[in-house]
Amino acid sequence: MEPTYDFDVVVVGGGHAGTEAALAAARMGARTALLTDNLDTVAQMSCNPAVGGVGKGHIVREIDALGGAMGRTADRNGIQFRVLNRRKGPAMHGPRAQADKAAYRQEIKRRCEAQPNLTLRQESVVDLLTDGPPGAPRMAGVRVAGGAVYRARAVVLCSGTFMQGMLHVGEKSMPGGRMGEPATSGISEALRRLGLTLARFKTCTPPRVNGRTIDFDRTEPQPGDARPQPFSFLTGRIDCRQLPCYITYTNETVHALVRANLHRAPMHTGPSRSAEPRYCPSVETKIVRFPEKTRHQLFLEPEGRTTHEFYLNGLPTSLPRDVQERILHDTAGLERAEILRYGYAIEYDYVPPQQLFRRLETKRVGGLFLAGQINGTTGYEEAAGQGLLAGANAALALQGKSPLVLGRDQAYLGVMIDDLVTRGVDEPYRMFTSRAEYRLLLRHDNADRRLTPLGRNVGLVCDERWSRFRAKQAEIARATGLLGQLRIGPLTLEQQLRRPETSWSELAARHPALGEISAETAATLSSDAKYAGYIVRQEAEIARQRRFAERGIPPDFDYTTVSHLRAEAREQLGRVRPGDLAQAGRIPGITPADLSVLMLHLQSRGGGQRQAG
C-alpha cells in the first residue's frame, strides 16, 4: 500500500503563487505541505529577472504589508532599483528592482525550509481527490506520481504554465511546463472531471545572451536610482552596489526580417491560436500591430551578480533559432552576441476565473483554491498576491472564520481579484494603475496603513512587523499634530503643504521639528496633503458604493425568479453569482436597468446581508 500523509493545507506548485500561499497558510498555524516537481526551481523567475513596476510595484508592497516574502527577498537580492513614473504624481509611481535570479530563488527556498508548520516535498501531483455528495464535492487531498496520497481539507492549486503546457520554437513544438521541464496532464483532467471549464492562453520569453559578447559601447547605459526605494516596510535602507542595465533598439532591417518569417512564428500563426498578453507581446506581434514604428526599445538586463547572462527585455519571440540569431546580429550592440538560451512560446491551460469566489475558492468544489497563472494572470507579482490571499483563506476556512476579501477601495489586490472573478479574462491579465478607480488612496507608500492591521487580525503579520508598524503610526500621529499646530503666517503647515509648490524640506527649514520626521513618513504625509481634496471626493464615492454593496445577494439566489430581468442578464448573473449589488454592477453586460430590477426584487423579499467572499 502506498503511503498517506495528513496535512491541513496542500499547496501544489512552488512558483511565486505557491510559495506565498504555503508561507501564508503556515504562518496562520495550518499544517501545510508544499508539493512541487523540482525543489531546485522554487520561486524561479521563469521570464524577466525583475520585481515590481507600474501597478505591479504596488502589489509587491501590499504583499509585504500582509507579511509576504516577495518584497524583503527583492530588497536583499536586488541588483538595481528604480522608481518608474517619477514625473507623474505619487499615486502613479512604480517601484521596480532587477533581481539576482539565483539568489532570489535560493532565499525563498530557505524561507520555506525555515517556516514552522511548512513541509516541502519534491512530488508531482497527478490527481485531485474529493469526497462528499456528487453535487457538492469537497477536497480531500491529492495523489502524486507513484501513488502516495496527501490528505488535506484545503488544496491551493498554483500550477503556473504547466497544465498541458506546449512549447513552440518556430516550426518545432514539444510538451513542457517551461523549457527543460515536463508539463502535467493529470491536473487538467481532474479539474474537468470535477466540472470546471478550462481554456488556453499563451505567452513567450526572449533569448538570453552572454554579456561578454555584447558591445555595450553601442548601447545606452541605464543606471539605478541614487537612493534606492525598498519594497519592504521592514527594510531600513538599501546599500548594495547596483549594476547598470542598457538600452538598444530594433530597426527596419530587423522588422523586415521578422515580417519575412511571420509564417514561421507560432505566436502569430500556426498551431498556437490562443490569446497572448496584450501588454507584453512578442516582437513579431509588435511589428505587425504597429507597422508605423521604425524601432522598438530593448532593455538588456543582467540576471545576477555571479553570471554574465543578460535578458533581452522587449524581444520575446516564438521565431525559430536561425531567425533569432539574425535579429540579434542586426541589432546595435548585439552584432556578436552569443545566445545562451533561445526564446520560445508556451501555450497552457487555465481556469476562467469567473468560476471562483472572491476568496479564490472554486464555486464548484469546496476547499479547492486557485492562484496565479491558472486564473488567467501574467506576472510574478499578480501570482504572488493571489497566492498569499488563497493560502490565507484556505487556513481561515479550516478555522471556521470569515475569508480575507479585499475591496477595490482597499488594495490593488482587491482590484485584481474583483476584475478576475467578476469580469473574467480574454487575455492574460496584468495589473496597471489605470485599473484602480481609487488609486489616489491606493498609493504604494501607504500599503501598510491600509493592510497591515487586516493582516494582523488574521494572523499573517508577525510581532516584528506589527511593532514597526505601530511605531510608524505613532510618528505619523506626531507629525500630523505638528502640521496642524505650527504655522507660517495665518496658515497651518498642513495647509501650506497642500500647495503644489510647497515641499516638506521647505517647511522643515522653517520648523526644525519637522526635520526629525523620517523621510518615509514625510513622503506619505506630503502625498496625503497634496491629494486631500481628491481623497475627500473618492471617500464619498466609496461610502456610496459601500451602501450599495450592503444589499447582499444569497449565493444560491435563483435569477430566473426575477421578472422583467433580461435573459442575458439572468445568464451573466447566474454564471458569476455576485455577492452583492455592487459586484453585480461590474459584470460585463449588466445595465443600470438590470440592477434596478434586481434591487427592487431583493427589497420585495427582504434582501439579505452582504455576502462575504
Which residue segment(s) compose the domain that 327 sits in? Answer: 208-345
Give a yes or no: residue 518 inside a domain. yes
- Distance between CA atoms of 93 and 95, rounded to whole angstroms? 7
Nearest to 554 by CA among 595, 596, 612: 612
Q: Which phi and psi (to 5°) does residue 150 adopt? A: -110, 110
Q: What is the 3-state secondary structure (H, E, C) of 20-60?
A: HHHHHHHHCCCCEEEEECCHHHCCCCCCCCEEECCCHHHHH
What pLDDT, on a 0 to 100 scale, did the predictor assign at position 612?
53
DSSP per position, 423-446: I--SS-B---GGG-TTTTTS-GGG
Of 290, 316, 345, the last residue of a domain is 345
Give a yes or no: residue 613 inside a domain. no
Round the average pLDDT of the chain to a whole number and report it.
93
**256 and 369 fall within a common domain:** no
Give a yes or no: residue 480 inside a domain. yes
- Distance between CA atoms of 178 and 319, rounded to whole angstroms? 16
**405 and 505 fall within a common domain:** no
Nearest to 369 by CA among 24, 3, 6: 24
What average pLDDT score do residues 367-373 get?
A: 98
Nearest to 11 by CA among 108, 107, 118: 118
- Distance between CA atoms of 152 and 159, rounded to whole angstroms? 18
Comparing 202-211, 343-352, 556-565, which segment has the lowest mean pLDDT? 556-565
- Distance between CA atoms of 5 and 340, rounded to whole angstroms? 41
Look up residue 531 and give its amino acid.
Y
Reported confidence tier of residue 550, pLDDT bands at 50, 70, 90: confident
* Spatial contact of 316 and 264, defined as CB atoms under 8 Å apart: no
pLDDT digits (tens, 9 = 90+) for 259-295: 999 999 987 775 555 667 777 789 999 999 999 999 9
Reported confidence tier of residue 482, pLDDT bands at 50, 70, 90: very high
Continuous segment of H or E residues that includes residue 157: strand 154-157
Look up residue 467 and give its amino acid.
S
Distance of CA 292 to the CA centre of its chain: 32
Write out the three cell numbers for 594. 438590470
pTM of this prediction exceeds 0.75: yes
Given a cut of 90, is residue 606 above it in pLDDT? no
Radius of gyration of the chain (CA): 25
Given a cut of 60, is residue 507 above it in pLDDT? yes
Give a yes or no: residue 546 inside a domain. no
Of 315, 345, 375, the last residue of a domain is 345
**20 and 157 fall within a common domain:** yes
**450 and 491 fall within a common domain:** no
Give the CATH number, domain containing residue 265.
2.40.30.260
**82 and 32 fall within a common domain:** yes
CB atoms under 10 Å from CB of 132, counted, come to 13
Give a yes or no: residue 521 inside a domain. yes
Given a cut of 80, is residue 4 above it in pLDDT? yes
pLDDT digits (tens, 9 = 90+) for 78-121: 999 999 998 888 888 999 999 999 999 999 999 999 999 999 99
Distance of CA 168 to the CA centre of its chain: 25
What pLDDT, on a 0 to 100 scale, did the predictor assign at position 342?
97
**419 and 301 fall within a common domain:** no
Total tally of structural domains belonging to the chain: 4
Most confident of 108-122, 475-489, 491-505: 108-122
**162 and 54 fall within a common domain:** yes
What pLDDT, on a 0 to 100 scale, did the predictor assign at position 341?
97
Comparing 162-171, 376-385, 552-561, which segment has the lowest mean pLDDT? 552-561
Q: What angle is formed at CA 465 by the lines to CA 378 and CA 379, rounded to 5 degrees?
A: 5
Give the CATH number, domain containing residue 147.
3.50.50.60
What pLDDT, on a 0 to 100 scale, did the predictor assign at position 273?
58
**85 and 11 fall within a common domain:** yes
Comparing 272-276, 406-410, 498-502, 585-589, which segment has the lowest mean pLDDT? 272-276
What average pLDDT score do residues 568-592 get?
A: 88
Give a yes or no: residue 334 inside a domain. yes
The conformation of residue 420, written as its DSSP 8-state character, comes to: I
Q: What is the 3-state secondary structure (H, E, C) of 356-389?
A: ECCCCEECCCECEEECCHHHCECCHHHHHHHHHH
What percent of the chain shows pLDDT beyond 70? Answer: 97
**52 and 106 fall within a common domain:** yes
Give a yes or no: residue 25 inside a domain. yes
What pLDDT, on a 0 to 100 scale, did the predictor assign at position 304?
97
* Spatial contact of 457 and 403, defined as CB atoms under 8 Å apart: no
**192 and 266 fall within a common domain:** no
**96 and 234 fall within a common domain:** no
Of 483, 512, 536, the last residue of a domain is 536
Give a yes or no: residue 543 inside a domain. no
What average pLDDT score do residues 435-453 get?
A: 94
- Distance between CA atoms of 177 and 126, rounded to whole angstroms? 14
Reported confidence tier of residue 134, pLDDT bands at 50, 70, 90: confident
Nearest to 458 by CA among 402, 382, 406: 402
Give the CATH number, domain containing residue 600.
1.10.150.570
**224 and 84 fall within a common domain:** no
Reported confidence tier of residue 543, pLDDT bands at 50, 70, 90: confident
The conformation of residue 295, written as its DSSP 8-state character, comes to: -
